[in-house]
């Protein structure tokens, strides 16, 4: 077989031939576990890509269906020592999260039971060990080299001897056998998974946290068992036949307690997600055959008429048919004020109806509903990886073998250099090194922060796409705002109508508005809508335009009631050889007020001016000021004319304006800013600005929870308030700071504690670390990292 | 140093060498070996 042939088959299949599957993975506790499962999958024939997530406990695998299938992938994960299953295909993101939460809860309860029983057995073992440690002249008497146990013995032993004198009369050999049996039982029941997973990892040339616990406790147990079963062998060679059963049990108990606290804290990192899922009512009141029936949510069908009363949660998405109310959408949009709803308005499943009753027609259901989409997005975001995690991944991948090497070196040096009981001292120090090393803290440093942060963002109505978006957002230097619909309300209204005095006699204001509104009926421009709406409000009779033509960037022309009507900017007037000078000063004045003036020509002569203005959002100016205080360069990008744009910008507190930009030119402007080395965010309404949002380093879609907006942007603000942009950037900065703190402490913890456990301070300060204290430190280190991430839940955007 | 200390030193050095070989080198070699036979079967 030639190398060429092997290479040709090793090539990845074309992307359209690969299939993708998401598997649930159980039993992963640290970054090394994650990397271990990932390697197991990647080694499978036919696997093109595998991405395993420690926090969501999922593996997303792209594979060639000709060469692999989901059962083979599940088998590969299982053979590496972890559990795997295929989520039911009909499950929505909400169902999947509920199933995952149930599994996490079961895991926590199981860990708690094992930890409590182990600790109780450990305490009993410590009491039973006292007579062995104090010696009493029997052959097991030895020097207590473990500083923690020595302290315990000195503190407890006199009291114990007074209370339980009979304990000291039991044959030490019998006590040792009892302890041997108890330790083996705890190792086989509570600690079983450490050994099975360590062995599975070992067979695949991998090592993880389980390896360290298994080797550490295994070595202490084997030494103790040998001392119990063959005490004469030790004594004849001048070695104290000490036993460490109580240490093995307590180490297992403390590590399990650490895992339990970690599982609980990790569960809290997804509390925001659980809150969202809790919004989904289980039943809906639906009209069927003129009767109101309570049915399960999954049985609601598209088009069903749903009845909602005051104080009830809206069960599914839909459109109001009759009735009116105010609805609290704060849980999904962050908008604190209730929103008025009338017939024709959309309602979102999961929001709370306040004052009135209404009926509505169900629209999007199940996996397509807004709530399910948000939950899906959040799950994906929480499972995503931030680029900063690569550092932790690189260290984790080599960490455990290096710690094993350090433990061997520690054992060797202590054996050679210790003046008394070298074998015992060497073993205690080596076990302490194995137990104190904690790859878990490094593995949890970044993903826990991403989880809490994206959850907190969702609570504030900010949907963040993932770790990469969070990291990029804190690097931002320049932020570009679209004008219409972003800085402004996006609801332009006619503010001024100015007639050309020389034609005022033949054209009244109503006549001018009728002609222009009739023309604009054919246009889809937002400004045209404002004019038509204004005419409709005045109850003017509109007519059908003839020969309508929209002239991009200039205006529109048509024939109305036999009159040639044109509306547009000064360029259009020049093209039509219409003299615009008589109203030029008015146009300048209106533009200076932030309004958009449009010249109107009828039958080739200037007839008047219509000005339209789009009011700026009440919070825009404060948001811009805050962004500038945060050191960001703020730019307004608009297709409007320069005078109007500058007037709006001045009100918003923006000094840099890029005006007269056609929609397709926005992408070029973003590229131009990026070419100067700036990290650029584009804030837009998510539909017209989609290309620019995609081009920017961070695309922020404002005021929309639609699929299109979510797809095009990195961050989606569920409501239009630009304070959300400030909050998103502040949250990303805070999150990065948390990730850096976590990584720093995880690295420092290991860098300091491993040498101390190895005994480097012993020659200078006489400090030796007990394996039991080492296990306590290890349990606390990973818990503290998760707790630090949980502080992000207290983030306030102010 | 006593003979037993020399023995422990030699075992320690060998142990460290084995750990690094097993986890860093043998794992990679093994990964290549597990993929190749399957691919050969398919081409054959």
* Beta-strand pair A339-341/A318-323: unpaired
Size (chain A), residues: 798
Measured between beta carbons, the chain B residues lying within 8 angstroms of A8 are: 43
Helix or strand (DSSP H, E) at A263: helix A245-269
Whether residue A1 and residue B44 make contact (CB cut-off 8 A), yes or no, is yes
Q: Are A685 and A702 in contact (CB under 8 A)?
A: yes
Which residue in the block uniquely carries the two structure tokens 């609980």?
Answer: A264
Whether residue B35 and residue A10 make contact (CB cut-off 8 A), yes or no, is yes
* Cα–Cα distances in angstroms (integers) from residue A171 to residues A131, A139, A232, A710, in the given order: 9, 11, 16, 73
A209-229 helix and A192-203 helix, angle to the nearest 10 degrees = 110
Locate the chain B residue with the closest alpha carbon to A45.
B35
Locate the chain A residue with the closest alpha carbon to B23.
A205
Residues in chain B whose Cβ is within 8 Å of chain A? 1, 5, 8-9, 11-13, 15-16, 19-20, 22-24, 26-27, 30-31, 34-36, 38-40, 42-44
Measured between beta carbons, the chain A residues lying within 8 angstroms of B1 are: 416
Instruction: Tell me what pLDDT residue A32 has.
Output: 67
Q: Alpha-carbon distance A514 to A320, whole Å?
A: 33
What does DSSP assign to residue A561? T
Residues 6+ apart with CB under 8 A from A207: A32, A198, A201, A400, A401, A404, B23
What mean pLDDT, rounded, does chain B reach?
A: 71
Instruction: Tell me what pLDDT residue B10 has.
Output: 96
pLDDT tens digits, residue range A558-568?
A: 998 888 999 99
Q: Are A630 and A648 in contact (CB under 8 A)?
A: no
Q: Alpha-carbon distance A758 to A220, whole Å?
A: 16
Taking the whole predicted model, whether its pTM rises above 0.80 is answered as no
Of A10, A401, A404, nearest to B39 by CB-CB distance is A10
- Structural tokens at position A293: 């029936």
Q: Alpha-carbon distance A735 to A731, whole Å?
A: 6
Determine the residue among A415, A417, A424, A758 to mutate to test chain B binding: the one whose Cβ has the most chain B Cβ atoms within 10 Å: A415
* Cα–Cα distances in angstroms (integers) from residue A674 to residues A279, A570, A654, A667, A728, in the given order: 41, 33, 20, 11, 21
Instruction: Tell me what pLDDT residue A237 has.
Output: 67
CA distance A210 to chain B (A): 15
Instruction: Tell me what pLDDT residue B33 has.
Output: 43
In chain A, which stretches have pLDDT less than 50?
1-13, 15, 136-143, 705
Instruction: Tell me what pLDDT residue A786 has.
Output: 85
Q: Is the ipTM of this complex over 0.85?
A: no
Q: Which residue has the higher pLDDT, A109 or B36?
A: A109
Whether residue A10 and residue B26 make contact (CB cut-off 8 A), yes or no, is no
Instruction: Tell me what pLDDT residue A213 has.
Output: 86
Which residue in the block uniquely carries the two structure tokens 């960490």?
Answer: A399
Whether residue B1 and residue A9 make contact (CB cut-off 8 A), yes or no, is no
DSSP H stretches of helix in A300-388: 330-333, 370-382
CA distance B3 to chain A (A): 11
**What is the phi/psi pair of residue A701, to 5°?**
-95, 130
pLDDT tens digits, residue range A474-497?
A: 889 999 998 878 888 877 889 899
């Amino acid at each position: 077989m030639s190398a060429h042939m092997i290479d040709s088959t090793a090539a990845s299949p074309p992307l359209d031939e690969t299939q993708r599957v998401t598997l649930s993975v159980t039993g992963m506790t640290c970054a090394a576990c994650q990397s271990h499962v990932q390697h197991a999958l990647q080694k499978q024939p036919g696997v093109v890509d595998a991405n395993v997530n420690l926090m969501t406990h999922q593996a997303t695998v792209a594979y060639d269906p000709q060469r692999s299938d989901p059962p083979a992938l599940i088998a590969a994960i299982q053979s590496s020592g972890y559990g795997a299953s295929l989520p039911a295909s009909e499950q929505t993101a909400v169902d999947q999260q509920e199933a995952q939460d149930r599994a996490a809860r079961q895991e926590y309860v199981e860990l708690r039971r094992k930890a409590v029983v182990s600790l109780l057995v450990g305490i009993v073992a410590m009491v039973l060990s006292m007579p062995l440690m104090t010696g009493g002249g029997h052959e097991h008497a030895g020097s207590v080299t473990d500083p923690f146990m020595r302290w315990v013995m000195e503190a407890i032993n006199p009291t114990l001897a007074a209370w339980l004198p009979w304990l000291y009369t039991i044959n030490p050999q019998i006590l040792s056998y009892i302890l041997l049996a108890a330790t083996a039982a705890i190792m086989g029941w509570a600690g079983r998974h450490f050994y099975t997973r360590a062995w599975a990892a070992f067979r695949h040339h991998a090592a993880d946290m389980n390896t360290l616990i298994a080797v550490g406790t295994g070595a202490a147990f084997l030494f103790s068992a040998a001392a119990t079963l063959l005490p004469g062998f030790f004594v004849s060679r001048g070695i104290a036949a000490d036993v460490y059963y109580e240490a093995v049990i307590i180490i297992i108990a403390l590590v399990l307690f650490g895992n339990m606290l970690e599982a609980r804290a990790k569960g809290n990192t997804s509390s925001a997600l659980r809150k969202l899922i809790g919004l989904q009512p289980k039943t809906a009141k639906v009209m069927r055959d003129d009767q109101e029936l309570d049915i399960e949510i999954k049985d609601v069908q598209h088009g069903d008429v749903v009845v909602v009363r005051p104080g009830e949660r809206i069960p599914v998405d839909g459109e109001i048919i009759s009735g009116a109310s105010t609805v609290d959408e704060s849980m999904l949009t962050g908008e604190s004020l209730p929103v008025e709803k009338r017939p024709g308005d959309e309602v979102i499943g999961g929001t709370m109806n306040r004052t009135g009753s209404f009926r509505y027609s169900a629209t999007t259901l199940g996996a397509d509903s807004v709530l399910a989409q948000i939950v899906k997005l959040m799950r994906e975001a929480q499972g995503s990886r931030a680029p900063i995690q690569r550092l932790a991944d690189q260290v984790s991948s080599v960490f455990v073998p290096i710690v094993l090497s350090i433990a061997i070196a520690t054992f060797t040096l202590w054996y050679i250099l210790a003046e008394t009981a070298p074998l015992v001292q060497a073993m205690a120090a080596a076990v302490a090194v194995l137990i104190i090393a904690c790859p878990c803290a490094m593995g949890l440093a970044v993903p826990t922060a991403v989880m809490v942060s994206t959850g907190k963002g969702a609570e504030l109505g900010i949907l963040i796409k993932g770790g990469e978006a969070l990291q990029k957002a804190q690097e931002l230097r320049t932020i570009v705002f679209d004008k219409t619909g972003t800085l402004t309300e996006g609801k332009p209204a006619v503010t001024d109508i100015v007639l050309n005095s020389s034609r005022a006699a033949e054209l009244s204001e109503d006549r001018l508005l009728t002609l222009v509104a009739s023309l604009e009926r054919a246009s889809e421009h937002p400004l045209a809508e404002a004019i038509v709406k204004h005419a409709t409000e005045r109850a003017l009779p509109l007519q059908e335009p003839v020969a309508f033509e929209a002239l991009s960037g200039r205006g529109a022309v048509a024939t109305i009631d036999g009159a040639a009507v044109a509306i547009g900017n000064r360029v259009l007037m020049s093209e039509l050889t219409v003299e615009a000078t008589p109203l030029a000063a008015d146009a300048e004045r209106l533009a200076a007020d932030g309004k958009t003036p449009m010249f109107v020509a009828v039958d080739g002569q200037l007839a008047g001016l219509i000005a339209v203005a789009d009011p700026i959002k009440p919070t825009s100016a404060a948001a811009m000021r805050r962004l500038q205080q945060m050191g960001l360069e703020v730019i307004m990008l608009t297709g409007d004319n320069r005078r109007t744009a500058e007037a709006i910008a001045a009100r918003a507190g923006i000094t840099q304006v890029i005006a007269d930009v056609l929609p397709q030119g926005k992408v070029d402007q973003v590229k131009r800013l990026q070419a100067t080395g700036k990290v650029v965010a584009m804030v837009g309404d998510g539909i017209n600005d989609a290309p620019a949002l995609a081009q920017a380093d961070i695309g922020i879609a404002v005021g929309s929870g639609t699929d299109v907006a979510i797809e095009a942007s990195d961050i989606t603000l569920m409501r239009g308030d630009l304070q959300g942009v400030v909050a998103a950037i502040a949250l990303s900065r805070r999150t990065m700071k948390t990730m850096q703190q976590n990584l720093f402490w995880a690295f420092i913890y290991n860098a300091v504690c491993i040498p101390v456990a190895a005994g480097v301070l012993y020659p200078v300060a006489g400090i030796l670390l007990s394996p039991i204290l080492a296990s306590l430190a290890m349990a606390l280190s990973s818990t503290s990292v998760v707790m630090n991430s949980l502080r992000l839940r207290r983030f306030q955007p102010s | 140093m006593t003979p037993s200390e020399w023995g422990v030193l030699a075992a320690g050095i060998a142990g460290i060498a084995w750990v690094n070989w097993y986890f860093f080198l043998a794992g990679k070699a093994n990964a290549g070996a597990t993929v190749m036979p399957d691919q050969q079967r398919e081409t054959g």
